[in-house]
Amino acid sequence: MMKDVMDAFNVSDNSKVIPIKQGLINQTYRCTDENNDLLLQQVNTNVFKNPLALQENYNTIYEHLQQKKNVFQIPKLIKRINNELLYRHDDGNYWRAFSYIANSFTFEKITNEQSAFEAAQCYARFSAQLADLSFTLIQYTIPHFHDLSFRFRQFEEALAGAELSVKKGVANEIEKIFHHRYIPEFYHFITSQPQRFRKYIMHHDCKISNILFDATNNKIVCPVDLDTTMPGYFFSDLGDMIRSMGNNLPEDSTRLEEMQLNSEIIQAIFEGYSNEISPYFTPDENTWLPFSGHILTYMQALRFLTDHLNKNIYYQVNYPLHNADRTKNQLQFLQLLLQWKPWPE
Ligand code: GN1
Ligand code: MG
């Protein structure tokens, strides 16, 4: 199978193929020979129903960034003969290829405040660079992706359809989701005030591992994994950074008594992000920016819990209670965020 894919992108048979472990969604391999160094990636079509939309968005973003001076260069898409952006294997799977940026590396885990600051600055600059790109040129690769009202409805449906025994096992978590109901209510308020809260093109997956660093000087090269880059509200990117980098434990750790909120890292993220983005945001967005982490952490707990109730149809799991454990972890982190900066009246 791999050979067909390699042939499709003109990768020679004697290339060195290394699987790249990243994320919960796509399968990626690095292929290297004397002439080429590229990433082959299988698109997860359960998640991304329209793989061509991913590729077209990528091209649009790539070309838009090319026109800007002195900004990061994102990896180039490798096209097939006759300019095709995707390869569809006989087994129905879709594959694509990117150039591998030489001498780059990613962090799995944030280690210091300086990198957190720079990563946040990078994601903010990315949105800023795309601020003059018309929304009509970007396709919604996952409709309602960070739409908290929609996520709440999905949760309610999953709850209605779940087996009693499954529900009983996560009764506490279900209760907490309802307890923090004011968060989806605040989201509803945001969406009902279009003058005060606008949309911007956001990355929507701002993990530290989605940033390439230069191995020589440790400077940031560019953000990668642009599949969910599309219009969204002010909280998405900052919120996901706080959620994913501000927690001292991995998002599926069960050692909850050891969980700590890393306030220095969160402050660095906040500064790096808000310094760059504030001029673009409305006064209301700037006021509510510090609560981005609460919204995203709640949304992630909701998504993991929904998937657990649905018996794990979306996220990859290593054991049956994996999504339940992820939910507990995210709810604990939400609790720490609330204690750190109390939600206003
Ligand atoms: C998924 O696979 P990864 O890490 O890029 C998910 C994100 C979640 C994340 C939680 C398309 O991202 O929204 O925050 O898992 N991406 C999609 O680990 O659903
Ligand atoms: Mg991703």
> For 278-290, what is each residue's pLDDT tens digit?
999 999 999 999 9
Does any ligand 1 atom lie closer than 6 A to the CB of residue 205? yes
Which ligand has an atom closest to residue 142 CA? Answer: 1
Percentage of residues in the chain with pLDDT exceeding 70?
97
pLDDT class for 71, splitting at 50, 70, 90? confident
Confirm or reject: Cβ of 23 under 6 Å from ligand 1: yes
Ligand 1 pocket test: which of 25, 45, 292, 295 has the largest number of ligand atoms within 8 Å of its C-beta? Answer: 25
Domains located in the chain, CATH noted:
2-102 (3.30.200.20), 113-340 (3.90.1200.10)
pLDDT digits (tens, 9 = 90+) for 17-67: 999 876 666 789 999 988 889 999 999 998 999 999 999 999 999 999 999
Residue 342: is its pLDDT beyond 50? no
* Nearest alpha-carbon partner for 198 in 274, 265, 284: 284
Cα 273 off chain centre by: 16
Verify whether ligand 1 is closer than 6 Å to residue 49 (CB atom): no
Ligand 1, atom 7, lies closest to the CA of 205
- Check if the beta carbon of residue 166 is closer than 8 Å to that of residue 309: yes
The band of 92, judged by pLDDT with boundaries at 50, 70 and 90, is very high
The edge-to-edge listing of strands for the beta sheet with 220-223 is 104-105, 211-214, 220-223
54 lines ligand 1 (CB under 6 A): no
Decide: 202 in ligand 1 pocket, CB within 6 A. Answer: no
Scanning 68-147, the segments in alpha helix (DSSP H) are 113-129
Residue 129 CA to residue 152 CA, distance in Å, equals 32
- pLDDT, tens digit, 9 for 90 and up, residues 205-250: 999 999 999 999 999 999 999 999 999 999 999 999 999 999 999 9
The overall average pLDDT reported for the chain is 94
